[in-house]
């Protein structure tokens, strides 16, 4: 990503920071009936704000938009959805898959169910083709 592009993202992030900072001080969540829900929303907003601030720092350092795992550029479409993303779509998906495997291992399951190990578009023994969402999470 060139400096001009980073600067555009930086401006978006700064707007997002201002919006989130404003939300944290707002009374809307204090008015919720369930205080535990209000606290959870507040925690999420604070968390997101911290991520946004880190992303602004990455803009300043020039590392914004670079995947911290593989070093490739993070897809613009992904940044459009998660502007403070630190990993590209492929690395995010493989991290999700390994987290899932870890959780399954903890529950005593050693491998993904057979159905999930099949590659997208491959027919199983019954001749059924499986198509998986999330761009190959199961590969
Ligand atoms: Zn990556």
Span 14-18, mean pLDDT? 95
pLDDT at 27: 64
The alpha carbon of 26 and the centre of ligand 1 are apart by a number of angstroms equal to: 36
pLDDT tens, position by position, 48-98: 999 999 999 999 999 999 999 999 999 999 999 999 999 999 999 999 889
The alpha carbon of 82 and the centre of ligand 1 are apart by a number of angstroms equal to: 15
pLDDT band, residue 118 (cuts 50/70/90): very low
The alpha carbon of 133 and the centre of ligand 1 are apart by a number of angstroms equal to: 19
The alpha carbon of 117 and the centre of ligand 1 are apart by a number of angstroms equal to: 22
The alpha carbon of 33 and the centre of ligand 1 are apart by a number of angstroms equal to: 42
* Higher local confidence (pLDDT), 95 or 27: 95
The alpha carbon of 57 and the centre of ligand 1 are apart by a number of angstroms equal to: 20
* Higher local confidence (pLDDT), 83 or 120: 83
CATH 1.20.120.910 occupies which residues in the chain? 3-87
Please name the residues in contact with 87: beta carbons below 8 A apart, sequence gap of 6 or more.
67, 68, 69, 70, 74, 95
DSSP assigned state of 135: T
pLDDT at 108: 82
The alpha carbon of 88 and the centre of ligand 1 are apart by a number of angstroms equal to: 4
**Residue 69: closest CA among 57, 86, 81, 52:** 86
Span 39-55, mean pLDDT? 92
Instruction: Report how far residue 17's alpha carbon sits from residue 12's, in angstroms, rounded to the nearest whole number.
Output: 9
Out of 1.20.120.910, 3.30.1950.10, 1.10.10.60, 3.30.200.20, the CATH code matching 3-87 is 1.20.120.910
Query: What residues sit around ligand 1, an ion, with C-beta below 5 angstroms?
Result: 67, 69-70, 88, 91
Rounded to two decimals, what is the model's pTM? 0.68
Whether the pLDDT of residue 119 is over 90: the answer is no
Whether the pLDDT of residue 123 is over 90: the answer is no
pLDDT at 56: 98
* Higher local confidence (pLDDT), 86 or 104: 86
Rounded to the nearest integer, the mean pLDDT of the chain is: 82
Whether the pLDDT of residue 39 is over 60: the answer is yes
Contact predicate 120/130, CB 8 Å: yes
């Amino acid at each position: 990503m060139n400096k001009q592009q980073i600067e555009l993202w930086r401006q978006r992030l700064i707007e997002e920071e201002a919006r989130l900072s404003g939300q944290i001080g707002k009374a809307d969540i204090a008015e919720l009936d369930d205080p535990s829900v209000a606290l959870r929303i507040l925690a999420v907003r604070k968390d997101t704000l911290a991520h946004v601030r880190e992303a602004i720092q990455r803009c300043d350092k020039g590392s914004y938009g670079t995947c911290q795992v593989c070093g490739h550029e993070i897809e613009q479409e992904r940044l459009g959805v998660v502007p403070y993303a630190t990993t590209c779509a492929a690395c995010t998906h493989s991290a999700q898959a390994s987290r899932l495997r870890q959780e399954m291992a903890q529950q005593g399951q050693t491998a993904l169910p057979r159905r999930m190990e099949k590659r997208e578009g491959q027919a199983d023994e019954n001749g059924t083709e499986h198509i998986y969402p999330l761009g190959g999470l199961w590969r």
